[in-house]
C-alpha cells in the first residue's frame, strides 16, 4: 500500500508532538498539513511537559521540521471543528494523527477514512488521562505507552499497540516522562508502518476496563510520593 495521507494536529511546539513528528518523518511519513493550536491552554501544557522531561534532549521545533520537509503549517486558536475543518475539507485524508492535543471531539474525529489515532504516554486501559508516569509510580502500575483510535471518551478508543517501558533502578521521574514520550513516538511510527502493510484489521482490539479512574494532573503531594518512591527504589515494576 502507499503511505497514508494524513493531517497532524498538536498544541503549538509541544515537546511530545515534536518528538512524534521526528519519529514518523524518519520513516517517510509526511503529513499533508500540520495544524497547531496556539492558546493559553497549549502554553500551559507545553510548559508542564518541558518541566516533566527537564534535562533530556528535545526534538527540533515544529517550525524547523515543517520547513525542512516542505509541510504546510497552519495555526488555529483552538482545535475545534469550525477552526480546523476549513483546512481539511479539500483533502482526501486516510488519517488524522494527534501529536499532543487537548481532548478533541466532533466532526474532526469522523472526517478521515480510516480514523483518528493518538499515542498516549501511558499503558491503556490501566492509566488513562494526564501525568501517566506519575500515577503509574504512585499506584504501582507498569509504565509504558499506547497507540489507540480516538473516540468521544478520554483515551478509551480501540488499541493498536501498547508496550511496557523497561524501568531501571536510578531512573528519575523526568527520565520516565521522557522515555514514555519517545516510546509514544516510536509506537506511532510503527502504527503507520502497520497501516502501510495493511495490518490494522488484525491489530485493533478493544481496551477493556481499568480499575483506576481517568487521571488528572498529579498534585504536589502525589509528586512528592513519586519522587520518594523512585529515590527509595520501592516502585513495584523495576526491570532489574
Q: Is 210 left (phi over 0), alpha (psi -120 to 50) or beta?
A: beta
Preceding omega of 125 cis (within 30 degrees of 0): yes
Q: Is residue 240 part of a domain?
A: no
Tens of pLDDT, residues 120-171:
999 999 999 999 999 999 999 999 999 999 998 888 899 999 999 999 999 9
Q: In this prediction, what percent of the chain has a pLDDT beyond 70?
A: 100
Residue 161 belongs to a domain:
yes
Task: Report pLDDT for 198.
Answer: 96
Across the range 71-84, mean pLDDT stands at 97
Residue 215 inside a domain? The answer is: yes
Does a structural domain hold residue 135?
Answer: yes
Closest to 66 measured CA to CA, from 91, 96, 97, 36: 36
Cell 513528528 sits on residue: 21
Query: What's the pLDDT score for residue 205?
Result: 96
Query: What is the pLDDT, as a whole number, of residue 153?
Result: 81
Q: How far is CA 6 from CA 35, 143, 212, in A?
A: 11, 29, 33
CB atoms within 10 A of CB 70: 7
Question: What pLDDT is attached to residue 196?
Answer: 97
Please indicate, yes or no, if residue 239 is contained in any of the structural domains.
no
Q: What is the CATH number of the domain that holds 45?
A: 3.40.50.12230
Number of domains making up the chain: 1
Residue of 154 and 26 predicted with greater confidence = 26
What tens digit of pLDDT does each residue of 117-129 get? 999 999 999 999 9
What gap in Å lies between CA 1 and CA 194, rounded to an integer? 10
Cell of 147: 497507540
Q: With respect to residue 238, please indicate whether it lies within any of the assigned structural domains.
A: no
pLDDT at 152 (0 to 100): 84
In a domain, 88, yes or no: yes
In a domain, 1, yes or no: no
Prediction pTM value: 0.95
Tell me the residue range of the domain where 178 lies: 6-232
Least Cα distance to 180 among 218, 228, 132 occurs for 132
Cα dihedral 113→119→120→125 (10° resolution): 60
Q: Read off the pLDDT band of 72 (50, 70, 90).
A: very high
Amino acid at each position: 500500500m502507499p503511505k497514508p495521507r494524513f493531517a497532524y494536529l498538536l498544541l503549538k511546539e509541544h515537546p511530545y508532538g515534536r518528538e512524534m513528528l521526528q519519529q514518523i518523518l524518519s520513516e517517510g511519513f509526511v503529513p499533508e498539513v500540520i495544524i497547531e493550536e496556539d492558546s493559553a491552554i497549549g502554553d500551559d501544557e507545553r510548559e508542564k511537559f518541558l518541566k516533566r522531561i527537564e534535562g533530556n534532549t528535545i526534538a527540533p521545533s515544529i517550525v524547523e521540521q515543517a520547513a525542512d520537509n516542505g509541510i504546510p503549517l497552519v495555526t488555529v486558536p483552538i482545535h475545534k471543528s469550525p477552526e480546523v475543518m476549513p483546512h481539511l475539507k479539500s483533502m482526501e485524508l486516510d488519517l488524522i494523527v494527534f501529536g499532543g492535543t487537548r481532548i478533541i471531539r466532533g466532526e474532526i474525529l469522523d472526517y478521515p477514512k480510516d480514523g483518528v489515532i493518538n499515542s498516549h504516554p501511558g499503558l491503556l486501559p490501566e492509566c488513562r488521562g494526564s501525568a501517566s508516569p506519575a500515577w503509574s509510580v504512585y499506584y504501582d502500575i507498569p509504565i509504558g505507552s499506547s497507540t489507540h483510535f480516538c473516540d468521544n471518551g478520554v483515551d478509551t478508543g480501540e488499541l493498536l499497540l501498547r508496550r511496557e517501558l523497561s524501568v531501571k533502578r536510578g531512573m528519575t521521574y523526568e527520565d520516565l516522562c521522557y522515555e514514555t514520550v519517545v516510546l509514544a513516538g516510536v509506537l506511532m511510527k510503527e502504527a503507520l508502518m502497520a497501516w502501510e502493510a495493511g495490518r490494522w484489521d488484525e491489530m485493533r482490539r478493544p481496551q477493556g476496563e481499568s480499575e483506576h479512574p481517568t487521571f488528572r494532573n498529579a498534585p504536589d503531594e502525589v509528586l512528592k510520593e513519586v519522587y520518594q518512591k523512585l529515590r527509595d527504589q520501592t516502585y513495584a515494576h523495576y526491570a532489574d
